[in-house]
């Protein structure tokens, strides 16, 4: 009688049931994505008002308006109300024009690296969920692109949250051999150049290497490759990412790597390739305790890499405080503890806990893509002020490495 009352799904094994749940959720996510971004449409970036464009360029709005009237650089579109609006590619065209017109201020308008400047590769890492690792990567990529830099974002996380934020649904839009795995895999017949898996994004100045579950193959294959002697010299597992980045080094100013939330072979490759390390941390005691384990394990594993002949020299290591509530006394105490222990290695600015970031995430956007009115104006402004301060501080570290004032 009991068996007769069982529903069909109750007769499924755990593996089958989980697979069924995955299929149902995947189909629903695809439906939602098609509603937000129809098949014939691509995710696009909003336009910028004259005021916003002038702020990005670092010039007076009146100067920008006069340039438009004189037909200099670009001719902006006009809205129905007559107001001028600029696309990000147009803003970047004006940057190049001003940099050429005012050579003494060229790096103020277009602060890209020059000959001899080292490519900056920043790994954003932590293995504690909820530390805002992907959100930090997304906002930093968009911020640096808005400053005129050429950015490559690499989604190294098999969960591929960063890819999703850029408009790619991993199981539908990223096929086999289209992730970083394709460029660093051990099978020479299947390996492709890194340039083959780089995609231009809708956000001018940002290219992306998307991720999906295929990245886990690297974790599974590396122990076998080591046993077979395939991981030697420049082909050693921790050197492979750095080696393929050299193929596209001249195309970018900054590479951002959203590392997996565990200390596997992919993460070690990211740490070795990185010139700078950003460790995201939510200032709560449980998260800090988890980060302590992350640091201890990272230290041990990096020691193994050094013993194997790998040289690890990061230009800077910084802790990024995320989801910070400055009115929460326990959080304030944790922040004070971190600053007392790590000093200037903790960024002075922190990303505040705000509904604006959550609202943007629901729309698969960063704060830089949100329009005024999509969330409360004051809420959005406070959130942008916080994120801008963090990203500007990171950018200053990059410019210091490049020898800029």
Average pLDDT over residues 130-156: 95
CA distances from 334 to 176, 246, 322, 330, 340 (A): 43, 39, 12, 6, 10
Residue 13 has pLDDT above 90, yes or no: no
CA-angle at 111, arms to 56 and 253, nearest 5°? 115
CATH topology (fold) of 48-109: Multidrug-efflux Transporter Regulator; Chain: A; Domain 2 (1.10.1660)
The sign of the CA dihedral 202, 381, 335, 362 is negative
* Residue 10's pLDDT band (cuts 50, 70, 90): low
Angstrom CA distances, 377 to 10, 91, 157, 323, 393, stand at 49, 24, 33, 20, 24
pLDDT in tens, 335-382: 999 999 999 999 999 999 999 998 998 888 999 998 877 778 888 999
Within its chain, how far is the Cα of 281 from the centroid? Answer: 16
Cα–Cα distance measured from residue 142 to residue 139, given in angstroms and rounded to the nearest whole number:
5
Cα 210 to Cα 7, 169, 294, distances in angstroms: 40, 9, 25
Q: How confident is the model at residue 92, as a pLDDT?
A: 95
Summarize pLDDT for 202-258 with one digit per residue, the tens: 999 999 999 999 999 999 999 999 888 877 766 788 899 999 999 999 999 999 999
Provide mean pLDDT across the span 29-33: 64
Does residue 150 come out as left (phi exceeding 0), alpha (psi in the -120 to 50 range) or beta?
beta
Contact 279, 319 (CB under 8 A): yes
pLDDT of residue 154: 98
Strand-pair category, 316-321 with 276-281 = parallel
Q: 182 Cβ partners below 8 Å, 6+ apart?
A: 190, 191, 192, 196, 197
Helix axes of 133-146 and 377-401: crossing angle, nearest 10 degrees: 80
CATH 3.40.50.720 fits 120-402, yes or no: no
Residues 6 or more apart whose CB falls under 8 angstroms from that of 396 comprise: none
Residue 45 DSSP symbol: P
Work out the average pLDDT over 172-191: 94
Per-residue pLDDT, averaged over 143-164, amounts to 96
pLDDT at 312: 77
Q: What is the pLDDT of residues 36-47, one digit of tens each?
A: 555 444 678 889
The answer to whether residues 232 and 73 touch, using CB atoms and an 8 Å cutoff, is: no
Q: Where are the domains of the chain?
A: 48-109, 120-402
Please state, in angstroms and rounded to a whole number, the distance separating the CA atoms of residues 219 and 215.
7
- pTM recorded for the entire structure: 0.88
190: Cβ contacts below 8 Å, ≥ 6 apart: 177, 182
pLDDT, one tens digit per residue, over 176-185 is: 999 999 999 9
């Amino acid at each position: 009688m009991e068996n007769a009352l069982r529903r069909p799904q109750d007769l499924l094994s755990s593996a089958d049931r989980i697979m069924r749940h995955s299929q149902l959720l995947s189909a629903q996510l695809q439906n939602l994505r098609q509603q937000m971004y129809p098949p014939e449409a691509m995710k696009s970036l909003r336009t910028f008002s004259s005021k916003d464009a002038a702020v990005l360029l670092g010039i007076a709005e009146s100067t920008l308006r006069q340039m438009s009237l004189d037909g200099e650089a670009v001719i902006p579109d006009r809205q129905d109300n007559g107001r001028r609006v600029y696309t990000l590619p147009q803003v970047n065209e004006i940057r190049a024009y001003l940099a050429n017109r005012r050579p003494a201020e060229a790096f103020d308008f277009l602060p890209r690296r020059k000959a001899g400047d080292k490519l900056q590769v920043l790994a954003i890492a932590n293995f504690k969920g909820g530390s805002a690792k992907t959100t930090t990567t997304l906002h930093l990529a968009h911020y640096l692109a808005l400053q005129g830099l050429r950015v490559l974002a690499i989604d190294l996380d098999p969960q591929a949250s960063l890819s999703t934020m850029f408009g790619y649904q991993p199981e539908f839009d990223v096929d086999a051999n289209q992730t970083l795995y394709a460029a660093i895999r051990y099978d020479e017949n299947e390996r492709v150049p890194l340039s083959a898996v780089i995609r231009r994004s809708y956000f001018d100045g940002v290219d992306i290497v998307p991720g999906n579950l295929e990245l886990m193959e690297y974790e599974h294959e590396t122990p076998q490759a080591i046993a077979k002697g395939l991981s030697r010299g420049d082909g050693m597992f921790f050197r492979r990412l750095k080696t393929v980045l050299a193929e596209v080094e001249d195309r970018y100013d900054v590479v951002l790597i959203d590392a997996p939330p565990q200390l596997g072979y992919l993460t070690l490759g990211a740490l070795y390739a990185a010139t700078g390390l950003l460790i995201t941390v939510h200032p709560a005691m449980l998260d800090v305790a988890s980060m302590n384990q992350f640091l201890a394990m990272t230290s041990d594993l990096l020691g193994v890499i050094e013993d194997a002949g790998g040289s690890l020299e990061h230009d800077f290591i910084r802790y990024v405080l995320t989801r910070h509530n400055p009115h929460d006394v326990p959080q304030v105490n944790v922040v004070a503890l971190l600053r007392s222990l790590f000093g200037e290695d903790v960024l002075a600015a922190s990303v505040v806990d705000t509904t604006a970031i959550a609202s943007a995430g629901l729309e698969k956007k960063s704060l830089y893509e949100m329009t005024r009115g999509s969330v409360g104006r004051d809420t959005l402004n406070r959130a942008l002020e916080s994120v801008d301060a963090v990203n500007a501080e990171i950018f200053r570290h990059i410019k210091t490495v490049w020898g800029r004032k």
